[in-house]
Chains A and B, each alone.
Chain A
Amino acid sequence: MESSQTLLKLTAELQKLPGIGRKTAERLVYFLLKSGDEQVKKLAQALDELSEKVILCRECGGITETDPCPVCSSEKRDRSLILVVEQPLDIAIFERTKNYNGLYHVLMGTLSPLNGIGPDDLRIGKLMGRLEKGDVKEVIIATNPTMDGEATALYISKKLKGIDVKTSRIARGVPVGSDLEFVDEITLMKSLEGRLAI
């Protein structure tokens, strides 16, 4: 493979993808070489379309081919609710529950001081802008229950203190179908704090 600049270039590009090292990249390149022109062209076309058609919604930051996205432009969604998530893919996760009918807002990450990410690097200003219109009654913060996710939730809830909007945080607790024996201490503690009357 030493002689071909084209192969080296492709291997180098593949290696930039998360979870792909040099060996995996080389294996993928060999696979593509073996699988013939048609397969390679389909992949190239799909990648082309990805950069041409797929964008991030200017309102919520979700992945979409129309701007604003189908959720943001739908008449059927409850415009008084915004669910705040870390990543565009989190939207798909909540959509799969088929139980949430409000709008979304993607932060594009969490506060992560040790990785150099502060509030200005997140789409928090944009969230504040969306709230200014006054339609939203409740903001549900659904960042991950990690240390960084909790700090981000805290930061947003403080920002929202001055505005007439209800702020809530998704509950943390014991996973459905799990055995208490295998649940960590912090989760158990949070599940006690967040207990509900039955």
Chain B
Amino acid sequence: MPLYKDEAIILRHYDLGDADRIISFFARRYGRMRAVAKGSRKLKSRFAGRLEPFHVISITFFGRENAELFKLSGAEIIRAHPSLSDNLEKFYRACYLNEAVETGLREGDPNGAAFHAVAQTLQRLADSSSPMEREWITRFFDVKFLSALGYRPSMGHCAVCRKEWPGNGNPVFDPARGGLVCRACGGKQNNVISLSSGAVKFLNRITSTGFDKAARLKPSPQLMDEISRTVIAFRNARLQTVFRTEQLLHSSLKE
């Protein structure tokens, strides 16, 4: 049976039998997978403490090619983010990243760009210092993660006719059609979002900025409102799911 070695982010685990766990993880080269970690709930297990959500680990696992469930044989921590459970809002947001991976990626579909987005965002959330900053980090993640899945919002061109956006007029964003929509293509339908030209410029900038320069972008509070609304509507139109972690985040922010 082939042995696989990779870098992976732990998504979650659930109990199996008396002492084992099934680990759901996202590997850089192999994609999202699941593996049994034998004895991992025992105190003396070599896995103990190494398989918690959000850990970035060096992983070895084995199994048949295209197996549904692999067997874990090794795990060493590369990066851990214990501070993610020091603050509930951070924790729910980190959980949201993992839910996005489980929702957006099929098992066994490799996606290095999505892996990069999750790994970078976990680090940024761990280092973050305010709810506003974290909202921005989360929405930046959405754009990068969705782009990695092939859903990059069309911000420089009309999403329908591809004509370059003129840079004036009242920009209209159509989540269902995946971006800005010009007047000729019917930017007057329901469920569209009217954007300020500032928001258009900013969203356009996000789509072309990598994580290395992400920290330099900082939207103002009003701009952040527009960006959140637009990105979430875009995400919902693409992924078509209700995120449980997002509901929990909202109810915790209200408390």
Contact = CB atoms under 8 A, between A and B. Distances in A.
Nearest to B19: A19
A186 B102 contact: no
A187 B84 contact: no
B49 A186 contact: yes
Given A154-B85, A154-B86, A175 B43 contact: yes
Q: Please list the 10 inter-chain residue pairs (A to B) with the smallest Cβ-Cβ separation, ordered nearest first.
A: A19-B17, A184-B49, A150-B85, A113-B95, A114-B12, A113-B245, A147-B52, A147-B53, A151-B91, A151-B85
B77 A184 contact: yes
A114 B99 contact: yes
For chain B, the bracket of interface size reads 35 or more
Interface in B1-59: 11-12, 14-18, 43-44, 46, 48-50, 52-54
Contact of B92 (A113, A116, A182): A113
B54 A147 contact: yes
A115 B80 contact: no
Nearest to A182: B46
Interface in A96-121: 112-116, 118
Contact of B82 (A19, A113, A158, A186): A186
Interface size range on A against B: 20 to 34
A154 B98 contact: no
A178 B45 CA distance: 11
Given A184-B48, A184-B50, A187-B49, A118 B248 contact: yes
B251 A186 contact: no
- Indicate the member of B15, B16, B85 with the most A CB atoms within 10 Å: B85
Residue from B54, B98, B248 with most neighbouring chain A CB atoms (10 Å): B248
Given A113-B99, A158-B88, 8 more contacts: A19-B16, A19-B18, A113-B92, A114-B95, A147-B52, A147-B91, A148-B53, A178-B44
A146 interface: yes
Interface in A158-173: 158
B244 interface: yes
B80 A185 contact: yes
8 contacts: A113-B245, A147-B52, A147-B84, A148-B53, A158-B88, A178-B43, A182-B44, A190-B82
Contact of B85 (A18, A147, A185): A147
B15 to A, nearest CB: 7
Given A114-B11, A116-B244, A185-B77, A151 B48 contact: no
Contacts of A186: 49, 52, 77, 80, 82
A189 interface: yes
